Structure 1
Amino acid sequence: MSNYNVNNSTVNALLGWIDEGIVAIPEIQRPFVWSATKVRDLLDSLYKDYPIGYIITWQNPDARLKDGTVSHGKKILIDGQQRVTALMVAISGHEVLDGKYKKKRIKIAFHPEKEKFEVQNSAILKDKRWIPDIAEIFKPTFSSFNFITEYCNNNPGMNPDELNRIIQRLINIRHSTLGIIDLNHTLDIKMVTEIFIRINSTGVSLSQADFVMSKISVNSQHDGPIIRKTIDYFSHLIEHPNIFENIRVNDAEFSQTEALRKIQWLKDYNSNIYQPSYSDVLRVAYTFKFLRGPLSNLVSLLSGRDFETREFKDEIIESSFADLKDGVMQFVDETNFKRFLMVVKSAGMIDKKLVRSITVLNFAYALYLLLREQNYSSSDINHAVRKWIVASTLTERYSSSIESRFSADIKRFAKENPRDVIQSVENGEIGIIFCIYFTLL
C-alpha cells in the first residue's frame, strides 16, 4: 500500500469539501496568522495561474462501529490551513479571528483596468474603478451583465468586452488547480512529520501536539471541538486574561458550554510561575489519564486503534475522547490548578525565574491529578508532589527522553505508594549525586 496519493483538484472543489465536512480544517477556530497582504498575494498568484504549493491531508481511519458497520473517516487538513482559510476569507467572505480572538473580515479589492489586487482601504472605497470586495463577485447571485453595465457607466473609458474577459478570469480563480497529497492513515506521526518537512518549502516541523489537536478538533461526535477550544483558550488566557470577553462574545457556541465556565476564573488570574502551552495541557492530561508518555499513541487511540488486533473500533474512539475530556477538565479546574501552584510555591519556586524546567512542573501536575483521582489525602499529595518537584529538579530527570520517563514514572506512581517511589529515587539517584559532589570537594 502506498504511503500517499497525489491528486489534482480545484479551489471550488476543496472549499465545497470543507463545507460538506469531507475535509476538516482544524485551525478554523484559531487566530489567523497571515497578514492581509499575504491573502492578497495568494489571490494574485491564482489569478496569474502560478502554483501555490501542495495541500496535505491525512486520512482518518475507517472505524468499525458497535453494530458491525463502518464509519468512514474524514480527511484532516494538516498543511495548507492558512492558504485554505485565506481562500475562504477572500472568496467565501468568512470571518477570521485575530490574535485577540476578535472576529474580522479581510476584504481584498480588485482593479479591473490594472488587473491588480489590493487590501481594501478607505481610498479604494472612494474610487469607482475598484471592486472593493471580490467576495461579491463569487456570490451565486452575482450578475456579470449587470456588473459590466454599471461599471462601464461609472468608468466610460473601459471596454465592456475587455472587462468581461477580466471578470471571467477573476471568477475562474475558483477553478484553479490545486495539488492534494493524501497521506495514508496507517502512517505514524514520525513518518508524517518527515513527509511534511520534505514537502514544505519553509522546512517547518509539526509537533506531535499539533497532530493530536487536529485529531481532536475534527471529531464533533465526541465533543472534539469543545476539548480543542478548552485547551487552546486556556493556554491563551493564562498569559492574556484580558481576551476572555472576546472569546465569550465571539464564540457563542462555546460560551454556552460548561467548558467556558470551567476556565472563566482565568480572566481574574495573574501568575507567571506556571503558564502551560496547549502542548503542556495535552501532555499532562494524557499522562495522568492514560498512564502513557508518547503522544503518538494518543493519536492512535483517538483514531480508535486497538493495539492488540490492529483494528480501528468506534468504542475505543468514544472511551479515548471521554478520558481525554475528563483529563483536560481536571487540568483547567480552578481548585486543582491553584492548589497545585501552592504546592509548587511551597517547594521554593515562588517566581518563574526559579522554575528551571516547565517539564518538571508538567509531570508534577500530572502526578498531583493522579493522586487526587486515587483519593490520597491532601497532606500525602502535597508531600509527594513537593518532594518530587525537588527530586526531579536536582536530578534533571526530564532533561532527555521525556516521553519514556513520563510513561515509566506515571505507571510506577499508579501502582506503588508515592512515598516508596520517592524514597527509592532519594536513596538511589539523589544519593549518587551527593556522593559525587562531596568526592569532588
Structure 2
Amino acid sequence: MSSGLDTPDELEVSLTNKDVQKLVQEIDEGKIVLPDFQRDFVWPTGQVGSLLESLLNGYYINTLLTLPVTGGGDNVPFPPRAVEASSGAIADSGQLEMVLDGQQRITSIHYALTAPDLALDNTKYPQLFGLSFSDVILGALEDDTIQWKSTHYGIWDDLQPDDYATQIEKDFIPFTIFRSKDSFDDWRYGMEDYANETDEISVDDVRAFDRQTRVFRNYGIPIIEMKAGTSPATVVQTFERINTQGLELGIFDILTARLYPKGVQLRNLWADALATNSDIKEYADTTDEKRLRKHLLKALALYRDKECKDESVGELSGTQFEDDWDTTVQMVNRALEKAQSASAGGFGVTEKYGFPYSTLLPPLANLLHLAENSETYPRHESLEMVQRWYWASTFSRRYSGSSDTISYKDYTEGRDWIRGERTEVPEAIQDASTVIPVELDLSSLTRGGPYSGIMSLLVLNDARDFGTFESITVHEVDDHHIFPDAKLKNGATGTKYGKTARNQILNRTVIESQNNRFNIRDRLPRDYIPDMIDAHPRGEAGIKDLLQGHFINEDGFEALLSDDYERFCQARKEELRNEIEHRIGASVDWAVSEEMV
C-alpha cells in the first residue's frame, strides 16, 4: 500500500575550495552570484573585522554552500543577483556559482579587498579596512591588528596602494593591496623600494609582512557544491534548514524562493509596489521595509481567509498570487493613507510615533477594505465599526505581544460583524471595557502603544501648536512637557516629582516639530499662558479653545494658571478617559484602575 508520501531526493554534493583573491575576482566577473531570495548584506564593521582576523590566522570559517548554474541558461532555479557592492554585472554564459549559504562572509571579504562606496550596517559612511603594519611584522595577528577608517574623513578616501609613506606614518596598510596577486606584488616591491630610501622600516620588515599575510592570501575557503540540476524544492528545503542555525531568513525571503518555480517573482512585485504606491513607499522609507513586507504578506494571508502565522504565510499558494498580491497592496496602501490622515475617518498615526502596534496593519487593511466595499450597512457605519475595533485594541494593549492568532480572530469576527452575519460585538471591543482600566494607567504611561495612540488622538482632535496656533500634521509632530521637566524635578510647584510623574502622558502634548518651544522653554504655565493669551487674536477665549484640542478643559486651564500640577493631571485624565470611551463606543469602569494604583 502506498504511504502517500513523496520519496525524498538524494542530495549529491562535492567538496572544493577557493582562495580569497580568486573569490573576489569571480565576484567582480559576475561568476559568483546570489539567489534573489537572499537577505541583504547586514554585517557591521566588528563582524567583518572578526572574519578578517580568522582568515589571517588560518582559522576555520565554516563552508560555503553553492549551486552550479549556467549563465543565461534554463537551469537557473532562482533569479540571480549580484553580490552587494560588486559591479552588478552577472555573467550571461559559462558556469556560475550561486551561493546559497555564506553571503555575509563572501560580501565581507569582497568589501575589505575592494573598498566599495557603500556604508555598512552600523556606519553612515563607507569604511576602509586595513592592517597595523607594526603588529603584523611582529606576528601579532589579533583583533586590534584589524582597523577600519571612515572614508568620509581625512586622507582615507584617497589613500592609494602606492602611498607608502602615509601607510607607514599612519601604521595602516589597506586590505585593497590583497585584491589580486599582481596588486600585492606591486605593493610589496614598491614598499621594499621605499624601505631602501628611508630609515623608518627595513626590507626585512616588508618581507616579514609578506610571510605573516601569506596564510590570508592563500586561504582556501571551503565550499560544499550541490550537484547541478538539484531540484528547486530540495534547494529551498536545504536552505531553510541551514538558516535555522545561522542568520535567519525572513518569511518574505523564504516565500520568494518557494514561489519562483511557480513563475512568481516576489521581489519584482515588491519593487513594483514601492514604485506605484506612494504611501507604501513613504512608510517603507521612514520605518522598516522588512517589517512592512512581512505585514503585507500577513495581510494577504488574511485576505485569503488564512491565519497569518509565519508557517501559514510561508505556505501561501502561487495560484492567483499576483492578483491577490495586487489587491493586498492596494488595501495596505489605502490603510496607510487612512492611518496617517488627521481628517474625519483617519487614525492620526504620526511619522514620529508610528502605529501604536505595527501588527495592527494586516487586520486593519482587510477590515477597512471590507468596510469601504460593504453592501450590508451604510459605509459610515462599517467604518465606525473598524474605528471602534482599532481604538479598543490600542488602549487594551491587545497587540502588544504575539498577535498572529489574535489578528485572525479579530479579522474573522470583524468581517462577519461588518457583513451583518454577526450581531455580537467582536471580542476586542467587548473586553475593552474591563481590560483597558487594568492595562492603562495614564498617570504612569510614558511610552508604548497607548502613548502613541494618545498622540494620534491629539492630532485627530486638531491640537494646535502653542507657538504658531496652527494645526499640527502627522508629518510635523513632536511632543513636549506642559509643566517643564526641570521645574517639576526641582520642586518649583511645591513638590519634587520623580521621572515617571514628570514624563507621564498627562504632562505631554504635541507641537510642531520645527517649533523652538519659545512659548514654554523652562517656564511654568502661569508664566507662559498669559503670554499666549496676549499673542492670540481672540485672547483668553482663543487659548481656551486651543487647549481643548489638547484635552485640557476649563478646570485644567485654571490649574495651569495656578501651577497646580496635581489638579491639572486629574482634569486632563478625565478628558482623555472620556475621549477613549468615545472612540471605543463603550463605557469603561475606571474605578478598577484607581483601585490598582
What's the TM-score, normalizing by structure 1?
Answer: 0.59
Deviations 1:382-401 (A, max 9, x none): 21211333565699876888
SS of the counterpart of 2:179?
A: coil
Shift of 1:45: 0.7
- Kindly provide the CA deviation profile for residues 173-232 of structure 1, in whole angstroms up to 9, marking residues without a partner as x: 3x32256799986589999777644x44xxx7665456447779999984615726978x
- Aligned pair in 2 of structure 1 residues 413, 261: CA closer, same or farther (>3 Å)? closer
Residue matched to 1:138: 179
Other structure's SS at 1:119 match: strand
- Kindly state the Cα deviation for residue 172 of structure 1 after the two structures are TM-superposed: 1.9
Rate the CA distance shift 1:34–1:158 in 2: closer, same or farther, 3 A: same
Secondary structure of 1:327's counterpart equals helix
| Deviates most, 75-84 or 182-191 | 182-191
Q: Where does the alignment leave 5 or more consecutive residues of structure 1 unmatched?
A: 60-68, 232-256, 307-315
Change (3 A) 1:427 1:366: closer
- CA pair 428-150 structure 1, distance change in 2 beyond 3 A: closer
For 2:369 and 2:123, the matched residues in 1 are separated by 30
Asked if 1:384 is matched to 2:393, the reply is no
Task: Tell me whether 1:85 sits opposite 2:107 in the alignment.
Answer: yes
Candidates 218, 228, 231, aligned match of 1:172: 218
Post-superposition CA distance 1:153-173 (Å, at most 9, x none): 112422476665556544323
Distance 1:41 1:431 in 2: 52
Matched, 1:118 2:127: no
Question: What amino acid does structure 2 have at the position aligned with 1:149?
Answer: Y
**Is 1:263–2:271 an aligned residue pair?**
no
CA displacement 1:78-115 (0-9 Å, x = unmatched): 76443333122113433434458955244333636346
Asked if 1:150 is matched to 2:150, the reply is no
Q: Which has the higher helix share?
A: 1
1:34 counterpart (20, 37, 44): 44
Contact kept? 1:212, 1:295, Cα under 8 Å: no
Partner SS for 2:116: coil
Cα RMSD (Å): 5.6
Change (3 A) 1:143 1:73: same
Matched, 1:10 2:18: yes
Distance 1:107 1:401, change over 3 A: closer
Which residue does the alignment assign to 1:23?
A: 34
Alignment of structure 1 residues 95-114 onto 2, 5 Å: 95-98=117-120, 104-109=126-131, 111=133, 113-114=137-138
1:120-158 Cα offsets, whole Å, 9 max, x none, are: 4579962338663222421476362x3332111112422
TM-aligned CA distance change 1:55 to 1:361, over 3 Å: same
Hey, what's the Cα distance between the residues in 1 that align with 2:431 and 2:131? 69
Q: Does 1:50 align with 2:93?
A: no
> Which secondary structure state, in structure 2, belongs to the residue aligned with residue 96 of structure 1?
coil
- The size of the alignment, in residue pairs, is 372
Taking the aligned partners of 1:71 and 1:127, their CA distance within structure 2 comes to 45
Matching residue of 1:331: 332
- 1:66 is matched with which residue? none
Shift of 1:324: 3.1
Shift of 1:363: 1.8
The structure with the larger Rg is: 2
Amino acid at match of 1:84: I
SS in 2 for 1:367: helix
Distance verdict in 2 for CA 1:186–1:72, change over 3 Å: closer
Counterpart in the other structure of 1:244: none
Alpha-carbon separation, structure 2, partners of 1:422 and 1:226: 36
Gaps of 5+ in 2: 1-7, 68-73, 81-97, 160-165, 197-201, 435-587, 593-597
> Quick check: 1:217–1:224 contact (8 Å CA) kept in 2?
no
Q: Residue 288 and residue 218 in structure 1: after superposition, are their counterparts in 2 closer, same or farther (change >3 A)? A: same
Maintained 8 Å contact 2:393/2:429 = no
Determine helix, strand or coil for the equivalent of 2:168.
coil
CA distance in 2, matches of 1:151, 1:218: 53
Pairwise CA distance, 1:367: 1.6
Residue-by-residue CA offset, 1:31-60 (whole Å, 9 max, x unaligned): x4412x432221121122211235568x9x
User: Residues 26-425 of structure 1 correspond to what in structure 2 (within 5 A)?
Assistant: 29=40, 32-35=42-45, 37-55=46-64, 72-73=77-78, 80-98=102-120, 104-109=126-131, 111=133, 113-114=137-138, 116=141, 117-121=145-149, 126-128=166-168, 132-139=173-180, 142=183, 144=185, 146-156=186-196, 157-159=202-204, 165-166=211-212, 168-173=214-219, 175-178=220-223, 186=233, 196-197=243-244, 199-200=245-246, 208=251, 211-212=254-255, 222=265, 224=267, 227=270, 257-258=275-276, 263-264=281-282, 277-278=291-292, 281-292=295-306, 293-301=308-316, 316=319, 319-321=320-322, 323-324=324-325, 327-328=328-329, 330-332=331-333, 335-339=337-341, 343=345, 345=347, 355=356, 358-360=358-360, 362-372=362-372, 378-389=379-390, 402-407=403-408, 410=411, 416=416, 418-421=418-421, 423-425=423-425
Q: Which amino acid aligns with 1:82?
A: Q
C-alpha contact (below 8 Å) 1:372/1:381 kept by paired residues = yes
Asked whether the equivalents of residues 339 and 347 of structure 2 are also in contact (C-alpha less than 8 Å), the reply is no
